[in-house]
């Protein structure tokens, strides 16, 4: 999705803005633009393609100077990627300049209305109508802030806006509704960004702007009010991440770096939350609603993509450990269902970014119905984190690779903890004890799997030219099969399908042939014998088999062409191990097919439109 950066302070705005845009590249974009303002005038540049193109285009312009600036990476929604459609957009008099993330739903009406009033539009975007509408109110004699507020009251849809008044380059305006925007607080300088990673090298103090708020930012002051001009409370959050965490280090790609962060991510997720002596779990974020949690009779998990697959693992965990009837819904589908909710129904939203529009909309629907809303969110202060009644943070640090890897591990770790926390069973002790003891050993076991990265790369090279792949698993590893297929699709563009292994005979077996391989997730557990039978059927049809199996499994080598061995663990924790070789396999397949695995085509990290 689009990325926004803004700056006001004593320094030259341009380098800060360009660095900020580069840090936001992970959000996905097709064009970029920047404008800086000073008493001497405006300098503006827009280019199609990478931020580097923009950087080069402004690099030689010695007059590109100013201490106030706004910049943007665009991911086209209305109008093709082009210089004219890139942001910033401005009004006819070139006084109002703005960058926008989101969608102005009533832009056509506004455009018609404004065109009739003589405004000439230069782009096909929804955004430009906002600049002209502000201008229209200014022409009525209103001051800039009032014109802006009147505009915000008239637009419908979602927006994060950074706005500059070229007549007054001493103030930067920001407004937000349903799209993320943060203010970075510095000394004699302040920043604006779609997310903190854009400016984390400059400050660690952030204000998360809330829906319906308008900020007036000068170099040494920040005023925030609602659209009735009443001041709203300002809360500054100090973020523990540093610049390094948001960068690649020695790894060639963020995706690989993030896969290798797996062991510590699992540790971060359980650290301080396991009270070993008392054989219990403490989740501070849920304490405030602990009474309500005791009354939960049915849990609905809402999420999208990889977070949804983590939710499917959660379904098994909540049912087995907490004995709690649980169902998982794609957030995008849940929104349109009209099912009745009994008293005692709670929802759990799972989201890495905390900004996914579909998950947010589903959550809001649940809130409207009066349900208790819980969250598992990685991004501190994000909209989903703020809008749930209570929740647990992942503490996984920024995930930059578009394909989610480390977030999946931390989501499952927290789901295990949450299932124990929600457990009402009296005989929970032995299961809880073994889960908690084993969870603490998982990071080391992941490390052992990561040591096999070179061998997994060889397998990826062997299979990288197959046009199709099937992923199969059962019970806890059925969601892992779905996630493995999604990962391969996303970063290598190989067509892949995930299936419950027991479903083979009901359709997918028809596809099996010598050039249609199957990735079988078959750790030794209560259902492995069943999967062996499924594999016999595949083998009989000459389908190549790659297996993820437990160390010491004697049988698997007679069935599979290739095997990746993983350490033994207890079944509910298996996805934490089995997904790691699948992530590596997808990564190496993508890289060796020549693709940019950190930024797969057509995808964006933070899906803030529906
Ligand atoms: C897949 C992936 C996506 C996200 C999905 C939800 O690798 O990253 O499927 O999992 O868009 O995003 P969050 O978790 O931010 O709500």
Whether the predicted pLDDT of 427 surpasses 70: no
- CB-ligand 1 contact for 404 (6 Å cutoff): yes
- CB-ligand 1 contact for 492 (6 Å cutoff): no
- CB-ligand 1 contact for 607 (6 Å cutoff): yes
Please report which confidence band the pLDDT of residue 424 belongs to, taking 50, 70 and 90 as the band edges: low
Instruction: With respect to residue 606, please indicate whether it lies within any of the assigned structural domains.
Output: no
Whether the predicted pLDDT of 209 surpasses 90: yes
3-state secondary structure 63-81: CCCCCEEEEEEECCCCCCC
197 & 51 share domain? yes
Cα torsion 377, 379, 380, 381: sign? negative
Whether the predicted pLDDT of 339 surpasses 90: no
209 & 288 share domain? no
* pLDDT tens figures, 48-82: 998 999 999 998 888 899 999 999 999 777 888 89
515 & 393 share domain? no
How many angstroms is it from 311 CA to the middle of ligand 1?
12
Residue found under tokens 């499994």: 553
**Three-class SS of residue 348?**
strand
Which ligand 1 atom is nearest residue 379's CA? 15
- CB-ligand 1 contact for 129 (6 Å cutoff): no
Calculated CA dihedral for residues 534, 540, 541, 545, nearest 10 degrees: 60
* pLDDT tens figures, 383-397: 899 999 999 999 887
Whether the predicted pLDDT of 9 surpasses 80: yes
Q: What is the pLDDT of residue 1?
A: 60
- 266 secondary structure, DSSP code: H
Nearest CA to ligand 1 atom 3: 305
Q: Give the residue from 204, 222, 248 where a domain finishes.
A: 248
Q: Give the residue from 213, 233, 248 where a domain finishes.
A: 248
Instruction: With respect to residue 610, please indicate whether it lies within any of the assigned structural domains.
Output: no
- Residue 388: Cβ within 10 Å count: 25
**Three-class SS of residue 390?**
strand
Q: Which CATH number characterizes residue 381's domain?
A: 3.40.50.10490
Contacts of 269 (CB under 8 A, 6+ apart): 394, 395, 396, 409, 410, 413, 414, 417
Give dist(CA 298, CA 326) in Å, integer: 6
CB 314 within 8 A of CB 353: no
172 & 76 share domain? yes
Give dist(CA 369, CA 342) in Å, integer: 10
Please report which confidence band the pLDDT of residue 245 belongs to, taking 50, 70 and 90 as the band edges: low
Residue found under tokens 């040591």: 451
Instruction: With respect to residue 549, please indicate whether it lies within any of the assigned structural domains.
Output: yes
260 & 382 share domain? yes
Which ligand 1 atom is nearest residue 606's CA? 15
- CB-ligand 1 contact for 359 (6 Å cutoff): yes
Q: What is the pLDDT of residue 246?
A: 61
Mutate to test the pocket of ligand 1, among 1, 179, 304, 579 (most ligand atoms within 8 A of CB): 304
Instruction: With respect to residue 16, please indicate whether it lies within any of the assigned structural domains.
Output: yes
Instruction: With respect to residue 605, please indicate whether it lies within any of the assigned structural domains.
Output: no
Calculated CA dihedral for residues 350, 353, 357, 361, nearest 10 degrees: 40
The average confidence (pLDDT) of the chain is 93
Residue 548, CA distances (Å) to 246, 462, 475 in order:
31, 16, 15
Instruction: With respect to residue 51, please indicate whether it lies within any of the assigned structural domains.
Output: yes
- Residue 106: Cβ within 10 Å count: 14
Give dist(CA 237, CA 206) in Å, integer: 5
Q: Give the residue from 414, 440, 466 where a domain finishes.
A: 440
Mutate to test the pocket of ligand 1, among 254, 301, 356, 399 (most ligand atoms within 8 A of CB): 356
Instruction: With respect to residue 607, please indicate whether it lies within any of the assigned structural domains.
Output: no
7 & 93 share domain? yes
130 & 224 share domain? yes
Please report which confidence band the pLDDT of residue 2 belongs to, taking 50, 70 and 90 as the band edges: confident
Q: What is the pLDDT of residue 366?
A: 95
Whether the predicted pLDDT of 227 surpasses 60: yes
Nearest CA to ligand 1 atom 7: 403
Contacts of 60 (CB under 8 A, 6+ apart): none
Which ligand 1 atom is nearest residue 490's CA? 7
CB 317 within 8 A of CB 572: yes
Cis? peptide before 88, omega within 30° of 0: yes
* pLDDT tens figures, 147-179: 999 999 999 888 999 999 999 999 999 999 978
Whether the predicted pLDDT of 469 surpasses 60: yes
Strands 345-351 and 372-377: parallel
Mutate to test the pocket of ligand 1, among 75, 253, 306 (most ligand atoms within 8 A of CB): 306
- Residue 111: Cβ within 10 Å count: 20
Q: Return the minimum-mean-pLDDT range out of 257-261, 333-337, 437-441, 536-540.
A: 333-337
175 & 286 share domain? no
Give dist(CA 511, CA 360) in Å, integer: 38
Instruction: With respect to residue 608, please indicate whether it lies within any of the assigned structural domains.
Output: no
- Residue 401 Ramachandran class (φ > 0 left, ψ -120 to 50 alpha, else beta): beta
Which residues are catalytic, by number?
Answer: 2, 605
Whether the predicted pLDDT of 591 surpasses 60: yes
Q: Which CATH number characterizes residue 175's domain?
A: 3.60.20.10
What's the structural domain count of the chain? Answer: 3
Q: At what angle do helices 406-422 and 305-321 cross, to 10 degrees?
A: 30
| Structural domain harbouring 239 | 3-248
* pLDDT tens figures, 95-136: 999 999 988 989 999 999 999 999 999 999 999 999 999 999
Over residues 567-574, mean pLDDT: 98
Q: Return the minimum-mean-pLDDT range out of 271-280, 407-416, 417-426, 458-467.
A: 417-426
Over residues 14-18, mean pLDDT: 97
363 & 327 share domain? yes
504 & 412 share domain? no
Q: For residue 535, give the nearest of 564, 562, 501 by alpha carbon.
A: 501
- CB-ligand 1 contact for 353 (6 Å cutoff): yes
548 & 571 share domain? yes
Task: Provide, for the chain, the percentages of residues in helix, strand and coil under a 3-state DSSP scheme, each rounded to the nearest 5.
Answer: 40, 25, 35
244 & 122 share domain? yes
């Amino acid at each position: 999705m689009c990325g926004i950066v803004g700056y006001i302070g004593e320094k030259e705005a341009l380098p800060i803005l360009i660095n900020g845009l580069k840090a936001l590249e992970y959000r996905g974009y097709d064009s970029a633009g920047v404008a800086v303002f000073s008493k001497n005038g405006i300098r503006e540049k827009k280019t199609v393609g990478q931020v580097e193109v923009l950087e080069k285009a402004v690099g030689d312009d010695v007059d590109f100077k100013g201490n106030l600036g706004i910049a943007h990476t665009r991911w086209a929604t209305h109008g093709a990627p082009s210089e004219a459609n890139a942001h910033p957009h401005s009004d006819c008099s070139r006084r109002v300049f703005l960058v926008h993330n989101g969608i102005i739903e009533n832009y056509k009406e506004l455009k018609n209305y404004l065109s009739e009033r003589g405004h000439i539009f230069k782009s096909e975007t929804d955004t430009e109508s906002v600049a002209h509408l502000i201008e229209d109110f200014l022409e009525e004699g209103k001051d800039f802030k009032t014109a802006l507020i009147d505009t915000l009251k008239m637009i419908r849809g979602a927006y994060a806006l950074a706005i500059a008044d070229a007549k007054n380059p001493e103030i930067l305006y920001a407004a937000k509704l349903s799209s993320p925007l943060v203010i970075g607080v510095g000394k004699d300088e302040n920043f604006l960004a779609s997310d903190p990673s854009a400016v984390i090298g400059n400050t660690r103090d952030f204000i998360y702007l809330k829906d319906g708020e308008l900020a007036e930012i000068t170099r040494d002051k920040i005023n925030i009010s609602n659209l009735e001009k009443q001041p709203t409370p300002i809360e500054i959050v100090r973020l523990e991440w540093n610049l390094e965490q948001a960068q690649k280090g020695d790894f060639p790609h963020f995706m690989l770096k993030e896969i290798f962060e797996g062991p510590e991510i699992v540790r971060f997720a359980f650290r301080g939350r396991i009270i070993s002596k008392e054989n219990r779990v403490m989740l501070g974020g849920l304490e405030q609603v602990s009474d309500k949690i005791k009354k939960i009779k049915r849990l609905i998990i809402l999420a999208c993509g990889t977070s949804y697959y983590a939710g499917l693992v959660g379904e098994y965990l909540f049912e087995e450990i907490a004995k709690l009837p649980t169902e998982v819904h794609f957030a995008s589908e849940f929104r349109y269902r009209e099912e009745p909710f009994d008293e005692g129904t709670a929802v759990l939203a799972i989201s890495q970014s905390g900004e996914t529009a579909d998950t947010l909309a589903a959550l809001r629907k649940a809130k409207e119905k009066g349900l208790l809303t819980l969250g598992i969110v990685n991004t501190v202060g994000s909209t989903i984190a703020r809008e749930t009644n209570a929740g647990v943070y992942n503490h996984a640090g920024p995930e930059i690779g578009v394909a989610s890897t480390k977030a999946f591990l931390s989501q499952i770790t927290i789901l295990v903890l949450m299932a124990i926390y929600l457990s009402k069973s009296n005989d929970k002790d032995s299961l809880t004890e073994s889960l908690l003891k084993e969870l603490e050993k998982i990071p080391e076991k992941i490390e052992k799997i990561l040591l096999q990265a070179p061998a997994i790369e060889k397998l990826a090279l062997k299979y990288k030219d197959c046009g199709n792949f099937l992923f199969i698993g059962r019970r806890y590893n059925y969601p892992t099969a779905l996630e493995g297929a999604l990962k391969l699709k996303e970063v290598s563009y190989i067509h892949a399908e995930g299936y419950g292994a027991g479903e083979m005979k009901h359709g997918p077996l028809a596809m099996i042939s010598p050039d249609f391989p199957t990735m079988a997730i078959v750790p030794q557990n209560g259902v492995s014998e069943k999967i062996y039978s499924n594999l016999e059927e595949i083998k009989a049809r000459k389908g190549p088999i790659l297996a993820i199996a437990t160390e010491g499994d004697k049988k698997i080598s007679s069935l599979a062409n290739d095997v990746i061995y993983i350490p033994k663990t207890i079944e509910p924790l298996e996805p934490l191990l089995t997904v790691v070789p699948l992530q590596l396999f997808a990564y190496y397949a993508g890289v060796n097919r020549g693709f940019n695995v950190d930024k797969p085509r057509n995808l964006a990290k933070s899906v803030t439109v529906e």
